[in-house]
Structure 1
């Protein structure tokens, strides 16, 4: 069997450029340092070096002392890893092959601004191991004041992956299902100090609601005690609530107005606050009130239910529900007399008639539809800590920052695809993107505060601009 171990150098007869196979088959042969005839690197730089965005990124790296948290690396390793994070933010890409083009006309943090080839970068990424990632997260979280009360926004996302050697990829429940296995990972974001705290990657088959407990244990292991969590409705479960109670953690959690355990509470207080100016939350053009109640039958603690009504939300939700019902009826009219099993969602709104597996007709469940029409425009937030409806809504709305983090991760960091062929490389890329997220979140936060001070909303104060 033959394999390629390098490429002949036309300018130096008898010399070659070795590839990774050379190191595999000839591990004892010492490869000369980069920049020699063995691996020529274009040392020339562009006559115009772009320093603007790089200066901002480097300032944030210095302010956060990110290089000091990379304790296991030498100067070359620290510089290259931070360069890859800066590349993700500035070029909005994670493609290793394009990094030398970026390095050609940007300053670098590697010693002597050394440009490394894409093969060196790929090799470097494969060398990042679990110890490197754990050491960074331990050091990063050690700098936070554990006596300060903070609220943490926790959310997760998934990415499709078709690489066969990535062990974390499993079939699960992706938001955008293309029939491929997925990788899940989650981020805990400190809303009080406006910075990401830590991340966790896990197999695609594990659902978000069960993963929360493991993340809570991890955060507890870092020594955080005075902490509250801001969660969306996807993490609501009795087990999660009880576990947060056992850790003495507070929570702020969104629930839908149509949710079975809260719609009775809304119906009970409907008409008490929707037009009262004392209940107005002007910044969101919403009305709200707070009531105490149990979250589930055997709950030992009273929770604070903040019930809200928004007229604009009511109009849009009613229109959406009416459109969904019309679409369902049109679909059912098409399949009458055919063998067809409709989804359970149809059974919620209609009484369905089958005969010998054939669908024959439907009738509206008027009581169900009328109740849901009444609940349009209403939503609720549950908190473990006593606060006003306005305070609870402001806390939950601040979660938009972490939502935008995931948007920037996929859209503005070029991380929609990992472009890896092994589990170790996938974990390494998630780690690099987490450092990039720390940098980008700081830029976004500063711009958001600057925009809030200005009378208008200039479109040039975005991170890419």
Structure 2
């Protein structure tokens, strides 16, 4: 499986048929650096058994420290597919090309230690809100008790919040959109904290305050609702609102004098519509200034709900720790080639996702090491990202000379030394490994 990680991370590609070309130019982890064929790679995907992936996930999660409280960051995506032999494929809420069936894929990450813990594959017709309860059960099955969940706005629902509390888990969740009850709380608190230096959170350049409220009808416990305001976010959102109003107005101007059956709720919210006597022909579209002004006044605000008592600063710090897992998740879809699976059976899909999850664990270790190295440097160089660092290390090559011996082509550069130092390695380690590879290749 390690060859898969090598190929995925360096080539940023998950196409198995390119493996022989890759293997010819790289040191391998196979016995005597044997280069396997395309068919061997394909057989591996087909023969990997479910108990192997399940066994790995059980062992991986068993090794984690269960005594300290950890926060799980959970995210999901869906993938289009046209292969006819995959049972998970169903029509659902596709992010792209809604005409194609999809399957869903989610990953739970430890926000503090910044590493993936487990993943899920489930049918395309199941939405994120419904699947969350299954993920909570899986976390419980892996032995996690003292945990909290950091969730994106897509998981906000009464049923999910009640289920987490029933199982004794805390939560921190972004409120989806600007819900009506949050709007009311924001309006109540407007002007009370937006320019207060005591409420300023310098790290994220925003202001915050916390109030306690019941979240929904029948709720028995007041929650911490953390309200934030950002000048930068306000400017961007106001520009979007203005552009949206211009776009809608232009559309309505084109409808004047024409018969219009119905308009969407957005138009009805921001415009007064006047019709001719027939009740169908649009006569005039007039902007609802108060509605637009209210929307503009709420620009720059957002809210996070937490089940535990914490300050607005603690809440945003905790939620921002989710950024790491989101970057990992993006890398899973981008660098690890998980956007396109290139498989045509359930067995191959399951095997490939399992291998890519292992690659994601390894990539997260690389990412953390490079990030920590970058943060220690006065000037953060652009080569301490995962793709850039791996491509730079790719320049360390061995060349076969006339005597049939493979030797390093050139000394390690200063840039490569900096990258190696992030992993606790140095030029001596490179030369030692080169000698070991040289010995192996001499016998082939």
TM class, shorter-length: 0.7 to 0.9
After TM superposition, the score normalised by the length of structure 1 is 0.79
The answer to which of 346-355 and 257-266 deviates more is 346-355
Q: 1:257 to 1:265 in 2, by over 3 A?
A: farther
CA distance in 1 between counterparts of 2:336 and 2:189 reads 46
**Deviation for aligned residue 1:148:** 1.4
**Deviation for aligned residue 1:455:** 2.6
**Deviation for aligned residue 1:284:** 0.9
**Deviation for aligned residue 1:172:** 1.4
Give the alignment partner of residue 4 of structure 2, picking from 84, 91, 111.
Answer: 84
Give the alignment partner of residue 348 of structure 1, picking from 262, 266, 269.
Answer: 269
**Deviation for aligned residue 1:189:** 0.4
- The gaps in structure 2 that reach 5 residues or longer are 389-444
**Deviation for aligned residue 1:216:** 0.7
| 3-state SS of paired residue (2:216) | coil
CA distance in 2 between counterparts of 1:269 and 1:135 reads 51
Give the alignment partner of residue 148 of structure 2, picking from 219, 225, 228.
Answer: 228
For residues 358-400 of structure 1, the C-alpha deviation after alignment (integer angstroms, 9 at most, x for no partner) is 6665443433322221110111111111111111111111111
- After TM superposition, list the pairs within 5 Å mapping 1:170-319 onto structure 2: 170-177=90-97, 179-255=99-175, 258-319=178-239
**Deviation for aligned residue 1:149:** 0.3
Give the alignment partner of residue 405 of structure 1, picking from 309, 312, 328.
Answer: 328
Q: 2:85: which partner in 1?
A: 165
| 3-state SS of paired residue (2:225) | strand
CA distance in 2 between counterparts of 1:432 and 1:242 reads 35
Cα pair 1:303 1:383 within 8 Å, conserved: yes
**Deviation for aligned residue 1:327:** 0.8
User: Is residue 416 from structure 1 mapped to residue 336 from structure 2 by the alignment?
Assistant: no
**Deviation for aligned residue 1:280:** 0.8
| 3-state SS of paired residue (1:287) | strand
| 3-state SS of paired residue (2:340) | coil
The size of the alignment, in residue pairs, is 385
| 3-state SS of paired residue (1:394) | helix
Give the alignment partner of residue 370 of structure 1, picking from 273, 282, 293.
Answer: 293
Cα pair 2:78 2:95 within 8 Å, conserved: yes
| 3-state SS of paired residue (1:258) | coil
Give the alignment partner of residue 455 of structure 1, picking from 378, 389, 396.
Answer: 378
The alignment's C-alpha RMSD in Å is 1.8
| 3-state SS of paired residue (2:185) | helix
**Deviation for aligned residue 1:352:** 4.8
- After TM superposition, list the pairs within 5 Å mapping 1:5-20 onto structure 2: none
CA distance in 2 between counterparts of 1:342 and 1:203 reads 34
**Deviation for aligned residue 1:179:** 2.5
Q: 1:40: which partner in 2?
A: none
Give the alignment partner of residue 113 of structure 1, picking from 33, 41, 59.
Answer: 33
CA distance in 1 between counterparts of 2:114 and 2:71 reads 10
**Deviation for aligned residue 1:93:** 1.1
**Deviation for aligned residue 1:187:** 0.3
CA distance in 2 between counterparts of 1:309 and 1:423 reads 47
